Amino acid sequence: MELLIRNGFVYDPINGVDGEKMDIAVKDGKIVEKVNERKARKIDAFGMMVMPGGVDIHCHIAGSEVNSGRLLRPEDHFRDFERKTAVTRSGVGYSIPSTFTTGYRYSRMGYTTIMNPSMPPLEAKHTHEELSDTPMVDKASYPLLGDWWFVLEYLKDGKIEECARHVAWIITSTKGYAIKIVNAGGLEAWGFGGNVQSLDDQIPCFCITPREIIRGLCKVNRLLNLPHTIHVHTNNLGKPGNYITALETMKCIEDLATENKPIIHITHCQFSAFKGGDWRTLESGAEEIANYVNAHSHVTLDMGQVIFTDTTTMTADGPFQYTLYELSGNKWVNHDVETETSAGIVPFHYLRKSYVHAIQWSIGLELALLIKDPWKIFLTTDHPNGGPFTSYPRIIAWLMSRKAREATLKKINPRARSRSLLPSINRELSFKEIAIMTRAGQAKALGLKGKGHLGIGADADIAIYNLNPETIDPSKKYRIVRKAFKRAAYTIKNGKIVFKNGEIVKHLDGATMWLDVKVSEPAKISEDMRRRFREYWTVECENYPVTENYLEISQPINVEAKV
């Protein structure tokens, strides 16, 4: 099918197009130079904004953890439901919507690619089953390897190359996309009721420190040529004073950086940017982190913005979730994924009038505004930890309009307001910068070649928003901007119009991307490894890998490793 999008204001930062009026031609799911004008279906995008389809680098949308969250929170479902239509299925859930609804809601906002950031290798099959049931978007998942026993052992012995081969095996067999590290070493310690307090704490039984794990996996990542960097959830997350840990994490691999390329992604950085001795004296550490990131080029971040709403926190960081449980007194799920990792879930309500929550809200925005280069910081809420992904338009409005920020500042805790840096920040992002933070930058950081841009040969994933950049002043009319980003005028996936006039018009299953890492000499499944699987896992080594037929639409990406 051929498609021609005419006269839209195109924002394509990767190809240097900034709001120019031009036509976009699509043929067979790809962007092409031109199409037969008479035959092609035409979309009149006059007075509208054309962007690449949105990319979300970090959102918990599938897997056993998310599903436990759904089970834990019936009250999250009964107020927010969607009826079935001729093309869509019904679904429920506000902060943790059911799989189909997740896909539809992303598509409604013009998003076409999303990344599920935490997949315990043991739960890979479950995760992929849910991802296959998340329609309208392409997706991928990051296996949790920061506390994976074999990785810890290889790193302890300094066997980086063997470790790389093993990681290649585990990424390919779990059909993963990147190396995810959550509270490196802390989850292993949590198995014994402990945690690590700094990068140089020893992990019980392994004689290794978080610093060595992060450095080791960073080297492994480079040896394997993986498209994304290591994806790190820092140690001490959610504790006052942890901005020092975040800075140390970035510093600890500074010497490994080459060619000004990013080698680490610090995810949901807001939760790692707390300054102060305790909750009463909590302050924002955004300025320090922003100064560091502005001066270095080996880091990318995402915001992890907090929204004042009732949401569900879920991470693999068991000890952090325990702290949250103690703070809130809410119901709590604590889960130990056999030898691999832990997980915790606590429902959480962020309140405007709470000092700590208001400071958190402020930190997220400060980070996004103080970091000068939008290619280094991306818009997320760490869905659903900071708030559901459906609140992205609200964040866009805050970033684009000082007035919008002031309107919210007026309503928050007065002590937090007086300590917030936001009143001193005049910066208002442009549409181009928003396009970078919500799609182009994320696609670039993920190394997705066909996503996040509208150049010839790119995937025809396009979002058209009903906003005219020539007539609208986003800093004053932020409500209109918010509304437009909430509901795209058109969403085009694989060259097909899937969302139009406020309705899903076509159901489309997205592909699951995974890395087929080719190493010169594949990792050996040793007898010792088999024995350990038999002794410590509920699943035998042979049954462990996810076979390709598990994925509804499999899209392997070939990676040639250096080992």
Partner 1 sequence: MITLTPKKEFRFPVIAECINPDIFHDKTTKEIEELKIWEGNKQKMLGELFKVEENRTENPQEREAITINGNLNKVRRIGAGMKSGEIIIHGDVGMHLGEEMKGGKITVHGNVGSWAGSMMKSGTIEIHGNVSDYLGAPYRGSIEGMRGGKIVVYGNVGNEAGAYMKNGLIKIYGNAGQFLGLRMRDGTIFVEKDSGGRAGACMKGGKIVVGGFLESVLPTFTIDSIKEKVKIEEGETIAGPFYLFIGDLVENGEGKLYLSKEKNPHLNHYERLL
Q: Which residues bind partner 1 (CB under 8 A)?
A: 72-76, 78, 330-331
State the nearest-atom distance from the C-beta of 75 to partner 1, in Å. Answer: 3
State the nearest-atom distance from the C-beta of 74 to partner 1, in Å. Answer: 4
State the nearest-atom distance from the C-beta of 79 to partner 1, in Å. Answer: 9
Which residues, at least 6 apart from 513, have a Cβ–Cβ distance to it below 8 Å? 138, 139, 140, 177, 448, 555, 556, 557
Q: Between residues 48 and 72, which has the closer beta carbon with respect to partner 1?
A: 72
State the nearest-atom distance from the C-beta of 388 to partner 1, in Å. Answer: 17
Among the listed residues 285, 295, 294, 202, the one whose alpha carbon sits nearest the alpha carbon of residue 237: 285
CB environment 530-563: b (16+ within 10 A), e (fewer)? eeebeeebeeebeebbbeeebbbebebbebebeb
State the nearest-atom distance from the C-beta of 84 to partner 1, in Å. Answer: 11
State the nearest-atom distance from the C-beta of 229 to partner 1, in Å. Answer: 38
3-state secondary structure 500-516: ECCEECCCCCCCEEEEE
Q: Between residues 243 and 322, which has the closer beta carbon with respect to partner 1?
A: 322
- How large is the C-alpha radius of gyration of the chain? 22
Q: Between residues 330 and 554, which has the closer beta carbon with respect to partner 1?
A: 330
Which residues, at least 6 apart from 27, have a Cβ–Cβ distance to it below 8 Å? 1, 2, 3, 35, 495
Let me know the angle formed at the C-alpha of 432 by 431 and 437, rounded to the nearest 5 degrees.
95
- Phi and psi for 223 in degrees, rounded to 5? -60, -35
Q: Between residues 17 and 72, which has the closer beta carbon with respect to partner 1?
A: 72
- Check residue 467 and report its DSSP letter: -
Q: What is residue 89's three-state secondary structure? A: coil
Sign of CA dihedral 298, 283, 182, 107: negative
Q: Between residues 73 and 108, which has the closer beta carbon with respect to partner 1?
A: 73
Left (φ > 0), alpha (ψ -120 to 50) or beta: where does 223 sit?
alpha
Contact at 8 Å (CB) between 105 and 97? yes
Distance CA 128, CA 130 (A): 5
Q: Between residues 46 and 78, which has the closer beta carbon with respect to partner 1?
A: 78
State the nearest-atom distance from the C-beta of 411 to partner 1, in Å. Answer: 21
Contact at 8 Å (CB) between 52 and 439? yes
Contact at 8 Å (CB) between 20 and 10? yes
State the nearest-atom distance from the C-beta of 408 to partner 1, in Å. Answer: 24
State the nearest-atom distance from the C-beta of 78 to partner 1, in Å. Answer: 6
Distance CA 232, CA 222 (A): 15
DSSP for 104-159?
A: HHHHHTTEEEEEEEEE-GGGHHHHHHHHHT--SSEEEEEEB-TT-HHHHHHHHTT-
Distance CA 504, CA 493 (A): 12
Q: Between residues 92 and 407, which has the closer beta carbon with respect to partner 1?
A: 92
State the nearest-atom distance from the C-beta of 89 to partner 1, in Å. Answer: 15
Q: Between residues 98 and 141, which has the closer beta carbon with respect to partner 1?
A: 98
In this structure, what token pair is assigned to residue 306? 């907090």
Q: Between residues 79 and 562, which has the closer beta carbon with respect to partner 1?
A: 79
Distance CA 316, CA 344 (A): 6
Q: Between residues 88 and 221, which has the closer beta carbon with respect to partner 1?
A: 88
Q: Between residues 348 and 499, which has the closer beta carbon with respect to partner 1?
A: 348
Q: Between residues 345 and 379, which has the closer beta carbon with respect to partner 1?
A: 345
